[in-house]
Amino acid sequence: MIDAVKKLCKDELVSKICAKMIERSNNGTIEYGNTMRTADKPLLQWIEDTQEELADAIVYLEKVKELINDTRTKLMG
Query: Within this chain, do residues 4 and 33 fall inside the same structural domain, yes or no?
Result: yes
**Which residues lie closer than 8 Å to 37 by C-beta, 6 or more apart?**
none
What range defines the domain where residue 19 resides? Answer: 1-39
Are residues 18 and 5 in contact, defined by beta-carbon separation less than 8 angstroms?
Answer: yes
First to last CA, the chain: 43
Query: Within this chain, do residues 49 and 19 fall inside the same structural domain, yes or no?
Result: no
Query: Within this chain, do residues 48 and 64 fall inside the same structural domain, yes or no?
Result: yes
CA distance 48 to 54: 10
pLDDT tens for the chain, 77 residues: list them. 768 887 889 899 999 999 999 999 999 999 999 999 999 999 999 999 999 999 999 999 999 999 999 999 999 98
Query: Within this chain, do residues 24 and 47 fall inside the same structural domain, yes or no?
Result: no
| pTM exceeding 0.75 | no
Closest CA to 24 of 48, 54, 46, 32: 32
